[in-house]
A and B are shown apart, each in its own frame.
Chain A
Amino acid sequence: MGRYILRRLISAIPVLLGISVIVFAIMAMIPGDPALAILGSYATPENVAELNRDLGLDKPLVQRYFVWLGNLLQGDLGRSFNLNRPVLDEVLERFNATLILAGTAFVLCSILGIAAGVMSAARQYGLADKAITFAVLLGISIPSFFLGMMMILIFAVNLRWFPVSGMWPIYGTRDIWALIDHLTMPALALSVVATGVIARLSRSAMLEVLRQDFIRTARSKGVHERGIVWRHALRAAMVSIIPVLGIQAGFVLSGAVYIERVFQWPGIGQMLVDAILRRDLLLVQGGVVFVAACYVLFNIIVDVAQSLLDPRIKT
């Protein structure tokens, strides 16, 4: 197992390098003078020339990439000019908030999605199945940002169950209950689409498995129907569900950008959008590379989980 994890980590290195090349290449595409873009139109020519030197922008592209990569590997993502602080500090702080939001949503959508899919398959064409199928269709069709706005309208403004926005109360203690209070609505809104997708996939994976011969064998042993569904069928179906969980984690992370905007959640998505509008390019570059790398690592975790679940995978 240790060797398998090591092998997966090593195989991630070219992907991570590829990510760095692509992000660098996209940023190098910026038309005009990047230093001017960073400093804004009020910059003096001397300032621009100085920044160009600081950033190494007067050097050839390939050399610039390796300088940038070297700094990146040492944890130096540059400095945000708007915020006047190191990019890495800002990114870490914001990513923390996103991790809480997206992580909660991911746990929610995994549990709810699989449970809904299994129940739907277990009662195929029954009332519960039809209700779940309809809810899933609605869930995957509603834009998460619109759903979030409607939730604010109903549950925050009208029913006053939850605060309208933010991560912490402006006054009062920052304890776990305050966090849960603020987290509930955005996490739910963020999880809806992924829940729908996972429920759909779980349902069809379960139906596929329930027709297999080993299910008939389990029935012939006299295993309870509950055991058939949850122990035999779900365990086998998980083999095809887990990779989709990995993909959905990427969608949850992406959706967080919208949800953070709707609920004013101080996460990395908000940071990126603000940085783009303010042309704070180093912040964008650093944020994108950091999140993409985290996502690659997360997918390794998914692969390891898969190999733990399926003994047929050679580790």
Chain B
Amino acid sequence: MMAFLKLLARNQLALAGLVVMALVVLLALITPLLPLADPNATNTPARFTEPFSDGALLGTDHLGRDLLSRLMWGTRLSLAVGFAAAVIAATIGAAIGIIAGYYGGRTDNVIMRVVDVLMAFPYILLALAIVAALGPGLMNALIAVAAVNIPFFARNIRGITVGIANKEFVDAARLAGLSNTKIILTEILPNVIPVIVIAMSTTIGWMILETAGLSFLGLGSQPPVADLGSMLGEARSALITNPHTSIVPGVMILIIVMAINLLGDGVRDALDPRLKSGALSRPLPATLVDRTRQPGGPADETALLHLSDLQTQFHVGARIFRAVGGVDLRIQPGECLGLIGESGSGKSVTALSIMGLVASPPGKITGGSVFYRGEDLIGAPYEKLRSLRGRRVAYIFQDPLATLHPLYTVGEQLIEAVRSHYNTPKDEARAHAIDLLKSVRIPNAEDRVDNYPHELSGGMRQRVGIAMALANDPDVIIADEPTTALDVTVQAQILTLLDDLRRERDVAILFITHDFGVVAQLCDRVAVMYAGRIVEQGTTDEILSHPAHPYTSRLMACVPELGGGQRRLEAIPGLPPVVDNLPEGCAFADRCNKARDACRQGDIPLDTLGQTRRVRCIDPETEEATA
């Protein structure tokens, strides 16, 4: 509760709303004590006095009544009526909702059908019908406004109650032999009341507006007593000659409703956990670049892609997560490089950083370079990045259901991939799309092209994902765990397909995975990633047969081998470190059984080991293995 109030207080607009509302309520409460003129005392000779004149601060109305006094009394009445309507609607609505939700079955069914029908009315029609039946008058307007809002409360509270009625503590109360009434009063109601209060606070402004509206139409408060709505209604005839009589009550309604809305927004925001975590911020077209460190380099001109000292961070509140902490990778034309690591090791962020696809906020590239054919892409203009995305550097993502647009056919999405870069006529692009689907071995490509993603199986969807990556014959495909979401037989098919395609088309692949089996099947070289850095790099054969870094060898010890049933699978103790507070020295030291003091001091470089290998360890294992 305190945390909630603190959050609310931090929202300045909500605070302003609260202050204004408190002030208005206070004034309304003390109105009878203030030295105001009689709100209903007419003084026709002094009608339509201008505001700020002697004896009438806000002027007088068409009968010479003091506007300030009428405004104060009117506000008092409007607030009281709005509040009463909210309380009545909330009480009756909640009672109905709780009964429907708690008893369920037929009771629930009948009640909810009636609620449905009531909600099928445009709300004011119902209010008008009720006022028509009861006759005009403030009390009847109040009843009408309360009545039309009952279904809203009933439906909301019913939903909450259904959730609570199936909880264990309610079952326990039933087993203890408590009566239904008692359970509702002692177990259900206390849990529902906060929801009722919040729903009430968000609708009270609405109720004030509605009763004012009915009064404005002449169906609410009757002369001489006036609430804000009927003041406005009476002033309408003098709108052109004496606008101040309309403006005074109108602005008051505006102030009240605005203050309540600000407060309501503040309450809603304070209760929404997504806002605090920044989960509702919009990712920019390309990842923000804020290179405080020198760009990496120099570029390796022979490599297709050269990542040099690449650093990507996530800034969440005061915490900085160094997801990628200086990664060096080279991908030669036509080669398949595997990037392997546990979840959270930074491999996906590395892959997304290449084309600036890390969501920012909160992501940010803070250092290093990504050279594409010798040209640094970090900090390149958006249009440059866009023209390379999908045309020269393409992506395949993990879950093909979430990564394909659900409302466009696969054909439309393939055509778009082509037409984002080339002015291909639509029919030509469509023919190309069908060819692409055939090349990823989708049967009946001519029909499938018009399917929506949800109409395809998981494996088919991933084939579409691959077809999309191939659409513009890229130089390199970055495949971010493309088989993880698929079942094993489909996995194997997709891997074979990727392997065939890369040999046919001579396209380089950066293959991100946590699976050594996949690496063995597909990759020429492997880089092992831990806590945002590369800890070992080499050819697939070397690394699989003689892992040099203790982490690699421990990781491989976790992989079950077919037919190797006798071997004990060794889990690595502990968890990967959280990357907002990395220890000095080797990030793996805490989990490594060879760790010594030297491991925890200074930066440990990625040293070369033999001709093709590099390892970030002061005590690599291969020396013994090769010795």
Contact = CB atoms under 8 A, between A and B. Distances in A.
B257 A292 contact: no
Given A141-B261, A142-B254, A210-B282, A284 B132 contact: yes
Which of A22, A220, A254, A272 gathers the greatest number of chain B CB atoms within 10 Å? Answer: A220
Contacts of B420: 221-224, 227
B245 to A, nearest CB: 11
Given A146-B250, A153-B243, A224-B420, A251 B122 contact: yes
A131 interface: no
A273 B128 contact: yes
Interface string B119-149: 0111111101111111010000000000000
A222 B468 CA distance: 11
B120 A18 contact: yes
Contacts of A296: 120
A143 B254 contact: yes
B391 interface: yes
Contacts of A142: 254, 257
B68 to A, nearest CB: 19
Contact of B407 (A124, A222, A262, A309): A309
Given A122-B282, A273-B128, A273-B219, A292 B122 contact: yes
B240 A157 contact: yes
B216 A19 contact: no
Given A18-B117, A19-B120, A261-B217, A312 B452 contact: yes
B417 A221 contact: yes
A30 B121 CA distance: 20
A295 B123 CA distance: 11
B262 interface: yes
Interface stretch (A55-63, A77-85, A168-176, A211-219): A211-219
Contacts, number: 231
Given A218-B405, A220-B355, A253-B122, A207 B280 contact: yes
B132 A275 contact: yes
Given A15-B116, A217-B405, A276-B128, A149 B232 contact: yes
B283 A19 contact: no
Interface in B141-168: none
B239 A292 contact: no
Interface string A21-49: 11100110111000000000000000000
Contacts of A206: 282
Which of B118, B217, B416 gathers the greatest number of chain A CB atoms within 10 Å? Answer: B217
A64 interface: no
B279 interface: yes
B282 A219 contact: no
B386 interface: yes
B124 A257 contact: yes
Nearest to A232: B405
Nearest to A150: B250
A52 interface: no
B514 interface: no
Contacts of A145: 213, 216, 232
Contacts of A30: 133-134
Nearest to B206: A140
Interface string B202-214: 0001000100110
A281 B213 contact: no
Given A220-B394, A291-B122, A213 B217 contact: no
A50 interface: no
A237 B118 CA distance: 28
Interface string A83-122: 0000000000000000000000000000000000000011
A183 interface: no
B83 interface: no
Which of B133, B236, B282 gathers the greatest number of chain A CB atoms within 10 Å? Answer: B282
Contact of B402 (A26, A214, A222, A235): A214
A211 B282 contact: yes
Nearest to A121: B282
A222 B118 contact: no
Contact of A210 (B283, B408, B421): B283
Contact of B390 (A211, A221, A284, A295): A221
A157 B238 CA distance: 13
A213 B402 contact: yes
A181 interface: no
A138 B265 CA distance: 13
A232 B216 CA distance: 45
Interface in B248-304: 250, 253-254, 257-258, 261-262, 265, 279-283, 285
A239 interface: yes
B407 A311 contact: yes
A139 to B, nearest CB: 10
Contacts of B213: 143, 145, 257-258
A124 B283 CA distance: 9
A152 B250 CA distance: 14
B254 A214 contact: no
B388 interface: yes
Nearest to B210: A254
A307 interface: no
Contacts of A217: 395, 397, 403-405, 465, 468
Interface in B563-618: none
A211 B283 contact: yes
Contact of A273 (B218, B240, B243, B405): B218
Interface in A169-218: 204, 206-208, 210-218
Nearest to B243: A153
B462 interface: no
A143 B250 contact: yes
Given A216-B397, A312-B454, A27 B216 contact: no
Contact of A222 (B236, B253, B254, B390): B390
Nearest to A299: B120
Contacts of B421: 222
Given A216-B403, A220-B389, A312-B406, A207 B282 contact: yes
A220 B395 contact: yes
Given A212-B402, A216-B397, A284 B129 contact: yes
B399 interface: yes
Nearest to B279: A211
B585 to A, nearest CB: 35
Interface string B193-228: 000000000000100010011001111000000000
A222 B217 contact: no
A140 B452 CA distance: 38
A305 B246 CA distance: 42
B387 interface: yes
Interface of B: 113-114, 116-118, 120-126, 128-134, 136, 205, 209, 212-213, 216-219, 232, 236, 239-240, 243, 246-247, 250, 253-254, 257-258, 261-262, 265, 279-283, 285, 352, 355, 357, 359, 382, 386-391, 394-395, 397, 399, 402-408, 416-417, 420-421, 452, 454, 465, 468, 471
Closest 9 A-B residue pairs measured CB to CB?
A: A18-B117, A254-B124, A146-B250, A141-B258, A222-B389, A222-B390, A221-B390, A220-B395, A250-B122
17 contacts: A19-B117, A26-B132, A29-B134, A141-B258, A142-B254, A146-B246, A208-B280, A213-B403, A220-B395, A221-B390, A223-B420, A232-B405, A236-B406, A261-B216, A273-B219, A276-B128, A295-B120
Given A216-B283, A220-B355, 9 more contacts: A23-B129, A137-B261, A142-B254, A142-B257, A213-B402, A222-B387, A250-B121, A251-B122, A272-B125
